[in-house]
Amino acid sequence: MTAIKNASVESVQASRAILRLVVALLVLGAVYLGLATFLSRHVPSNTTVDRIAIGGMTPNEATVTLKRVLAARASQPVHLETPSRGVDIEPGTAGIEIDLDATLSDLTGFTVNPVQMWLRLTGGEDRPLRVRVDRAKLTAAVTEGRGPTPQSPRRPRQAHGRRDGSGQSRGLPRGGGLDHVHWR
C-alpha cells in the first residue's frame, strides 16, 4: 500500500513540476513578445538622421523632433554643384521639401528575430535626410540661379547628386536625380 501511495505522490509532484515549467515558459514567452512589441514601436537606440539623435523615440516623437530641429535648416539656402557651376538656391523656391515619411520608413516593425531585437536595443545607424523634388521648379531654380558668392559668411553643405560608388559626388547629372540634400 505504501508503494502505491509513494507512486501517486511522485506522480502528483511530477505533474506539479511540469505545470510550473509550462507556466514559467508561458511567462517568459509573454515577456519576450512584450519586448518585441515595445521594440517594434520605437526607433533603434543609436539612430540619427542627418546627425540628429532620434534613437529610442516612437515614430511620432521622431517626426516632431526632426520637424522642430530641421525647421530652420529647411529655409536656409542650399548649395548645388552642377557639372558647369555651383548654385545657391532656396529649397522652397526650388521645389525641395524634406520627406520625413521616407526618411523614417522601415525603422520600426514587428519582429521576434532575436538578432534584430538585439540590434534595435544596441544598434542604430546614421540615416541621410530624404527629400522630395519638384523637377520643374528645381530646373528653373538652377537655370535662374547665380554662382556662389565668395563673401558669403556661412556656406551650406553641398547637395549631392547620384553617387557612383566611389563616395565622390558627381553633381546633378543631366537627366539624373537628386538623392538627398544636406543642410548645416
94-140 per-position pLDDT tens digit: 888 889 999 998 888 999 999 999 999 998 889 998 989 999 988 88
pLDDT at 161 over 70: no
Predicted confidence at residue 59, as pLDDT, reads 92
Helix 114-122, helix 2-40: angle, nearest 10:
50
The label of the residue with cell 548645388 reads 80
Most confident residue range from 7-21, 51-65, 81-95: 51-65
The label of the residue with cell 521622431 reads 62
Residue 164 pLDDT class (50, 70, 90 cuts):
very low
pLDDT at 172 over 90: no
pLDDT at 171 over 60: no
pLDDT at 88 over 50: yes
pLDDT at 157 over 70: no
Question: How far, in Å, CA of 52 to CA of 100, rounded?
Answer: 13
What integer is the mean pLDDT of 148-155? 42
What integer is the mean pLDDT of 73-80? 80
Residue-wise pLDDT for 25-71, tens only, equals 999 999 999 999 999 999 999 999 999 999 999 999 999 999 999 88
> Three-state DSSP class for 30?
helix
Predicted confidence at residue 4, as pLDDT, reads 66
Contact 154, 76 (CB under 8 A): no
> Three-state DSSP class for 159?
strand
Contact 93, 143 (CB under 8 A): no
